Amino acid sequence: MSPSPEISPAVSTALDCLANGLTPERLTLRDAVRALLAHLAATAPGRSVEVRVPPYGAIQCVEGPRHTRGTPPNLVETDPVTFLQLAAGRVDWASAVADGRIRASGIRSDISAFFPIV
């Protein structure tokens, strides 16, 4: 997996598929999500917010109080396609939260400042 999502073939391929109304292959989608999560973790280091994109991955990011056990107090969860669209700037954070595609809870869960990624 490339540390830079801009040059990751999986990210490019998945975004191209979505732009053409197609569903990316499962492995491509997985690799794209993982590359983007890795980039988000590097861009916003810390352990106060958990970002989950099931079934492909989860990270902890954003400076602040560290979470160690149980369900984190600051949680962001979304599906892989919404995460890719958010990362590419094709969907707005507030709109995705409002229509339930992103579930965000906790006082630190608004991580909209870190998007788009690519």
User: Measured between alpha carbons, how far is 49 from 36 in angstroms, rounded to an integer?
Assistant: 16
User: Measured between alpha carbons, how far is 86 from 110 in angstroms, rounded to an integer?
Assistant: 13
Question: Is residue 117 in some structural domain?
Answer: no
Angle formed by the axes of helices 9-19 and 26-43, to 10°?
Answer: 120
Mean pLDDT of 1-5: 45
Tokens representing residue 106 in the block: 């906790």
Quote the number of domains for the chain.
1
Mean pLDDT of 84-112: 96
User: For the ranges 13-22, 71-80, 89-98, which has the lowest average pLDDT?
Assistant: 71-80
Tokens representing residue 13 in the block: 């391929």
Write the pLDDT tens digit of every residue in 10-64: 999 999 999 999 999 999 999 999 999 999 999 999 999 999 999 999 999 999 8
* Residue 56: CATH number of its domain: 3.30.1050.40
Question: Confidence class of residue 2 from pLDDT cuts 50, 70 and 90?
Answer: very low
Please give the residue range of the domain that contains residue 52: 5-107
Question: Confidence class of residue 6 from pLDDT cuts 50, 70 and 90?
Answer: low
Tokens representing residue 67 in the block: 């979470």
User: Measured between alpha carbons, how far is 90 from 68 in angstroms, rounded to an integer?
Assistant: 33
**pTM metric for this prediction:** 0.89
Tokens representing residue 75 in the block: 């949680």
Strands in 49-53's sheet, in edge-to-edge order, are 57-61, 49-53, 75-78, 102-105
Question: Is residue 39 in some structural domain?
Answer: yes
Question: Is residue 114 in some structural domain?
Answer: no
Is the pLDDT at 3 greater than 60? The verdict is no
